[in-house]
Structure 1
Amino acid sequence: MSVALPVLIVLATILAMEGVAWGSHKYIMHGFGWGWHRDHHEPHDKLMEKNDLYAVVGAVLSISMFALGSPLVMGDAAWWPATWIGVGVLGYGIIYTLVHDGLVHQRYFKWVPKSGYAKRLVQAHKLHHATIGKEGGVSFGFVFAREPAKLKAELKRQREAGIAVVRDSAGA
């Protein structure tokens, strides 16, 4: 088998995971799963958050894909693309950890970007945290971010419509 197809599957999975993460963040974490996600939006000085349980869910998804692709586990029912999907889910998890937990929330390293894509990601996620509670909000993705000016305008619209309570320092 050519190496191109597995690489394409991994890359497609990483891209698809941003959509999965966006939907999960908006509709699960800010919905019925708020109990795990709430502490991520509140000040604290703990090393771990309940929100970190979502990383465990991602790890279970990745491991499940590895199992589905393994002839040792599945025998003749093994589905080889699942292994590469598992690699893609793992890759997205690594990117998420470095970008969201590392860069944006500075849990693992301290670096404040002054310009470019990294600054845009940080600004967009800080605007995501500008709302109080689970209602409303902007920028539910983790790797792709809209322009901060557009996100501020959306927050302002949500505040004026009574959809979200926005912190005063959010600039909306």
Structure 2
Amino acid sequence: MNFFIALATFILMEGATWLIHKYIMHGFLWFLHKDHHDHSNEGNLEKNDYFFVIFAIPTIALMYFGSLENFNYVFYIGLGIMVYGMAYFFVHDIFIHQRLKVFSKTKKPYFLALRRAHKQHHKHITKDKGECFGFLYVPMKYYKMYFNTEKK
């Protein structure tokens, strides 16, 4: 049962991420997210990186308080959020933005579509008129681009 709580939380985090990204990061916390779009930072870190800390705090709290009660469901909700956060870091920061130069030559359609959707999101350098606010879900139009093998 605990595995399913963590798995369901991981899956539900995609919707939460979309909402947080669209209405909070592109809303009242745009001042933290802006440098991720306009690349106005000078170093390796961005103000946007504060979101890792912001999201880690409730995750750690859930896991801590859930562990006090014999690792109850609260712990496994925190665990699902933590695993999603780890996936986000590896896929978004390492794979998509190439903070570490690995996995840059993939030919897998899903990963190519994921990069394309994220690139579409970043073509907007203001907080308005964005698209593709999700993370692991790729809109079908980008996915189809890399599966269409018919000759025209």
TM-score interval w.r.t. the shorter chain? 0.7 to 0.9
* Runs of at least 5 residues in structure 1 that lack an aligned partner in the other structure: 151-172
Q: How far apart in 2 are the matches of 1:131 and 1:137?
A: 6
Q: Name which of 57, 62, 67 aligns with 2:64.
A: 67
Please provide the CA RMSD for this pair: 1.8
Give the 3 Å change call, closer, same or farther, for CA 23–82 of structure 1 in structure 2.
Answer: same
Structure 2 residue 33 is the aligned partner of structure 1 residue 40: no
Aligned to 2:150: none
Aligned pairs, number: 141
Structure 2 residue 31 is the aligned partner of structure 1 residue 49: no
Higher RCO (C-alpha 8 Å, min separation 6): 2
- Please tell me whether Structure 1 or Structure 2 has the larger radius of gyration of its CA atoms: 1
Mean Cα deviation higher: 88-97 or 39-48: 39-48
Structure 2 residue 92 is the aligned partner of structure 1 residue 96: no
Identity between Structure 1 and Structure 2 (%): 40
CA contact (8 A) 2:116 2:142 kept: no
Structure 2 residue matching 1:9: 3-state secondary structure: helix
**CA displacement at 1:46 relative to structure 2:** 1.7
Q: How far apart in 2 are the matches of 1:34 and 1:95?
A: 23
Structure 1 residue matching 2:74: 3-state secondary structure: helix
TM-score normalized with structure 1 length:
0.76
Aligned to 1:20: 16
TM-score normalized with structure 2 length:
0.85
CA contact (8 A) 2:114 2:142 kept: no
Q: Please list, as runs of the form range in 1=range in 2, the aligned pairs for 1:1-172 lying within 5 A after superposition.
A: 5-43=1-39, 44-71=41-68, 80-110=72-102, 111-148=104-141
**CA displacement at 1:149 relative to structure 2:** 5.2
